[in-house]
């Protein structure tokens, strides 16, 4: 075994231990590879897990990740949040991850056969399900929707193929390279698109990615020494102007791209060529007697561990919480000319208190209308849930990847949406809505307030997450490919059914869930729930001949059918 492979095995063991994951070695390799090859997009563990489509009838595809303007999209329901334009950039990442010791042509052959069928816009859901598994079809239909909306609006589409394997180095022959060219040419014809990349990753490349940590400490150079002021023992602030070229440099990563991770706590993403950004762009490009900061509200940064030396301020854990549109406009439109004396106003607040930071984020963005969904994370119920989960040894991720970036185990991190789906499915007997419209659970005030009721026992929220997590873990280790394929779209249904089977009851109150003994839910109870679900699916399809596995998972009629069966069982 080569040194690269030996070292990578150690990294895989560390990854498994750190994230407290109990899966087969091949699945650990897949999760690790996807985590490393998509590191630039800062995806959550949940995002990566939801992208995996391998198993029976996977067409040679292990994972599909859909991004719109670098934001991950997991369901068609989420598309209502996006306005497509000629500035939209949509990216589809199609991955193959094999814990094999060499690159092989077979995965390429499968892709070449699969792509024309999977991305044929004339084929509907039912037609695709005759050949491919439900998870793959669900994400393929999402790709097709994003593809069409982006193309019609005049935006750009990027398609990235990734092949990761356990080979020590990349060693491929002419036939392999020829098939890569064939794959890229085929993809170009299908999508009528030139922006196609193909990348191989061996142990060597994966190790380089693993060792390439994000820069955590950055230096901001002010035009003059910044004003420094403290407020009692609660924090310290720095205020000053920064030359446009120096601010652009501050935003620029080692790969000459904008440091998108600096904006994770901002409630908006870049809005493109809207009127306000056109004006900012024009101001940047037109040098006149007015300084830029006279005409602009400036930038607000939250950070930690400051070290000031003259005009330079070194800071850690940088988050730009206000001024994203200005920042992107400077990055995109300024030439980087250091002789340009114009500057932008920047205030840096040193504070690591979560509630204070939330208040700063909300107040610095209050001058513009903001949808309620974007500000859910700052509400008191969400903060209280975070504290409760933390005290129990778990991590409630109100702001995406906050705990991932702190190195907490992924198996103990639960997002707001994950929690909302688990509650909606298990507490409200509504797995189909939780499955079909995950975004609406947070967007609609009525539904949101039903789910996140501060009068409810927070133990019930945690237990629902743990039931859902335990059910998903059992599902991942199903050895029967036919059962796994049949239930791939019914993971929330399985968690819901498992809670009832564990207590041998057809209905469970929230109070009962709050005192739920998780040891009651074991492999035996899961197997019983799995058998019950697969039998119920088969029986439903006999009397509903037009039903397929995807529309059943989103159907209230099927949920009601399960309830009738549970009534009969208990």
290-348: pLDDT as tens digits: 899 998 989 999 888 898 988 999 998 888 888 888 998 999 999 999 999 999 999 99
- 471 and 328 both lie in a single domain: no
d(CA 491, CA 480): 16
**257: Cβ contacts below 8 Å, ≥ 6 apart:** none
- 345 and 388 both lie in a single domain: no
Asked if 227 and 236 touch (Cβ cutoff 8 Å), the reply is no
pLDDT band at 258 (very low <50, low <70, confident <90, very high): confident
Tokens of 142: 């999402």
pLDDT above 90 (res 280): no
Q: For the chain, first and last CA: distance in Å?
A: 56
pLDDT of residue 274: 57
Asked if 535 and 566 touch (Cβ cutoff 8 Å), the reply is no
- How confident is the model over 476-488, as a mean pLDDT? 90
Range of the domain at 484: 375-569
- 434 and 565 both lie in a single domain: yes
pLDDT above 50 (res 253): yes
Asked if 235 and 355 touch (Cβ cutoff 8 Å), the reply is no
**96: Cβ contacts below 8 Å, ≥ 6 apart:** 60, 61, 62, 107, 111, 161, 162, 163, 164
- 45 and 171 both lie in a single domain: yes
pLDDT of residue 372: 41
pLDDT band at 270 (very low <50, low <70, confident <90, very high): low
pLDDT of residue 262: 82
Distance of CA 271 to the CA centre of its chain: 20
pLDDT of residue 369: 42
Of the listed ranges 20-24, 139-143, 457-461, 468-472, the least confidently predicted one is 20-24
d(CA 169, CA 179): 19
- 31 and 108 both lie in a single domain: yes
- 181 and 262 both lie in a single domain: no
53-74 residue pLDDT tens: 998 899 999 999 999 988 899 9
Tokens of 18: 């750190």
pLDDT above 70 (res 281): yes
- 380 and 346 both lie in a single domain: no
pLDDT: which is higher, 398 or 168: 168
- How confident is the model over 207-228, as a mean pLDDT? 83
pLDDT above 70 (res 507): yes
- 200 and 52 both lie in a single domain: yes
pLDDT above 50 (res 373): no
- 296 and 155 both lie in a single domain: no
- Which of 196, 211, 226 marks a domain boundary? 211
- 234 and 252 both lie in a single domain: yes
pLDDT: which is higher, 519 or 80: 519
Alpha-carbon Rg for the chain, nearest whole angstrom, is 25
107-144 residue pLDDT tens: 999 999 999 999 999 999 999 999 999 999 999 999 99
- Mean of pLDDT over the chain: 89
- 353 and 421 both lie in a single domain: no
- How confident is the model over 34-54, as a mean pLDDT? 89
pLDDT above 90 (res 559): yes
pLDDT of residue 195: 93
pLDDT of residue 374: 54
- Which of 370, 403, 429 marks a domain boundary? 370
pLDDT of residue 370: 44
pLDDT of residue 265: 61
Tokens of 122: 């004339």
pLDDT of residue 23: 87
Structural domain count, the chain: 3
- 536 and 453 both lie in a single domain: yes
Which is nearest to 281 in space by CA: 263, 260, 301, 296?
296
- How confident is the model over 241-261, as a mean pLDDT? 89
- Which of 307, 342, 370 marks a domain boundary? 370
């Amino acid at each position: 075994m080569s040194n690269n492979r030996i070292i990578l095995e150690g990294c895989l063991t560390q990854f498994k231990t750190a994230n407290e994951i109990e899966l087969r070695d091949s699945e650990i390799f897949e999760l690790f590879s996807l985590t490393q090859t998509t590191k630039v997009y800062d995806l959550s563990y949940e995002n990566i897990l939801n992208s995996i489509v391998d198993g029976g009838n996977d067409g040679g595809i292990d994972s599909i990740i859909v991004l719109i303007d670098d934001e991950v999209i997991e369901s068609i329901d989420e598309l209502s949040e996006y306005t497509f334009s000629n500035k939209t950039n949509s990216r589809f990442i199609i991955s193959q991850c094999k814990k094999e010791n060499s690159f092989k042509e077979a995965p390429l052959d499968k892709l070449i056969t699969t792509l024309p069928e999977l991305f044929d816009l004339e084929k509907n859901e039912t037609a695709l399900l005759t050949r491919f598994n439900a998870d793959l079809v669900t994400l393929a239909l999402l790709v097709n929707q994003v593809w069409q909306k982006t193309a019609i609006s005049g935006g750009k589409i990027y398609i990235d193929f990734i092949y990761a394997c356990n080979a020590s180095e990349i060693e491929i022959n002419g036939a392999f390279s020829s098939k890569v060219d064939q794959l890229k040419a085929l993809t170009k014809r299908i999508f009528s698109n030139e922006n196609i990349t193909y990348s191989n990753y061996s142990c060597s490349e994966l190790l380089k990615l693993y060792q390439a940590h994000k820069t955590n400490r950055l230096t901001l150079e002010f035009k003059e020494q910044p004003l420094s002021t403290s407020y009692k023992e609660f924090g310290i602030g720095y205020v000053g102007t920064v030359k446009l070229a120096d601010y652009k440099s501050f935003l620029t990563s080692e790969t000459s791209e904008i440091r998108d991770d600096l904006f994770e706590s901002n409630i908006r993403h870049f809005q493109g060529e809207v009127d306000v950004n056109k004006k900012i762009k024009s101001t940047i490009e037109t040098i006149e007697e007015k300084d830029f900061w006279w005409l602009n509200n400036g930038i607000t940064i939250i950070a930690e561990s400051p070290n000031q030396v003259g005009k330079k301020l070194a800071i850690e854990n940088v988050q730009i919480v206000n001024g994203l549109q200005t920042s992107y406009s400077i990055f995109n439109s300024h030439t980087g000319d250091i002789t340009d004396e114009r500057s932008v106003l920047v205030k840096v607040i040193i504070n690591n208190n979560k509630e204070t930071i939330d208040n700063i984020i909300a107040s610095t963005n209050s001058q513009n209308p903001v949808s309620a969904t974007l500000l859910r994370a700052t509400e008191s119920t969400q903060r209280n849930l975070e504290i409760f989960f933390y005290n129990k040894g778990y991590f409630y991720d109100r702001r995406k990847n906050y705990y991932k970036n702190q190195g907490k185990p992924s198996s103990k991190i639960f997002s707001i949406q994950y929690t909302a789906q688990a509650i909606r499915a298990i507490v409200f007997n509504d797995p189909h809505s939780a499955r079909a419209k995950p975004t609406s659970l947070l967007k609609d005030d009525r539904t949101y307030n039903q789910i996140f009721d501060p009068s409810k026992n927070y133990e019930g929220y945690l237990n629902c997450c743990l039931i859902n997590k335990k059910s998903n873990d059992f599902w991942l280790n199903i050895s029967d490919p036919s059962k796994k394929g049949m239930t791939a779209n019914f993971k929330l249904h399985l968690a819901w059914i498992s809670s009832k089977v564990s207590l041998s009851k057809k209905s469970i109150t929230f109070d009962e869930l709050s005192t739920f003994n998780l040891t009651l839910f074991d492999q035996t109870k899961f197997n019983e729930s799995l058998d019950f679900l697969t039998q119920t699916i088969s029986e439903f399809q006999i009397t509903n001949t037009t039903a397929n596995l995807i529309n059943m998972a989103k159907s209230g009629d099927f949920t009601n059918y399960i309830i009738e069966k549970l009534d009969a069982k208990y």
